[in-house]
Amino acid sequence: MSSALNRLQGKLGYSFRDPELLLLALTHRSFAGRNNERLEFLGDAILNFIAGEALFQRFPQAREGQLSRLRARLVKGETLAILARGFELGEYLRLGSGELKSGGFRRESILADALEALIGAIYLDAGMQAARERVLAWLNSEINDLTLVDTNKDPKTRLQEFLQSRGGELPHYDVVDIQGEPHCRTFFVQCSIALLNEKTNGQGASRRIAEQVAAAAALTALGLENERVENGHD
């Protein structure tokens, strides 16, 4: 196996017994007839099961609808693409010339699909427990940031709606620092709104999470105590 693929395995935290499975997971349909679409199908099913199981255990009092909404947020393409970018997965994808020219290695859908294909490949390579360990490790920060408090609307949405209802300007988010290695970065974000004299801060494993934390802090600073992001039960 090439040194490049060895680096990728280091970022993923998993070494394949069958290198061909890894290559197949990285092969887009534009590159070859034998590609990662079947692995993506399998990985999607496995991801949904693992995420559902984790949420079932984490929120024992949650209702079915709440669990479904949380799982949808956890496994959506945006979340998967952020993880894939953290692994610099685009650099290892095998794409056809057309996709390469159009920047397919940066496209959210292609990155998310490839990550699902990797989950399917890990399952075939070593079984469900290995797949579960990797998925839970990758999604640990996202799972820890989930809450049953208003699962329909995240803090950024609630803050925006609160400001709009009062005719205020929309919040502004700035990334002020990024720390850590590519596979385990921490993003530091500041949120600025006209109603507060001071900026609020947030940090997380992705820019999106850090922005949500900063928005939740702004809601609290505005006196909306029950808008706080908390990990708890109904």
Residue 67, pLDDT above cutoff 70? yes
Mean pLDDT of 106-135: 95
Q: Which pLDDT value is given to residue 1?
A: 62
Residue 231, pLDDT above cutoff 70? no
| Distance, CA of 216 to CA of 200 (rounded, Å) | 9
Q: What is Dmax (Cα atoms) for the chain?
A: 59
Task: Look up residue 197 and give its two tokens.
Answer: 């004299």
For the segment 138-154, what is each residue's pLDDT rounded down to a tens digit? 999 888 888 776 545 78
| Distance, CA of 210 to CA of 43 (rounded, Å) | 27
Residue 192, pLDDT above cutoff 90? yes
Q: Which pLDDT value is given to residue 232?
A: 34
Mean pLDDT of 133-137: 96
Closest CA to 86 of 211, 207, 203, 185: 185
Single pTM value for the model: 0.65
H-state helical runs in 13-63: 19-25, 37-58
Active site residues: 44, 116
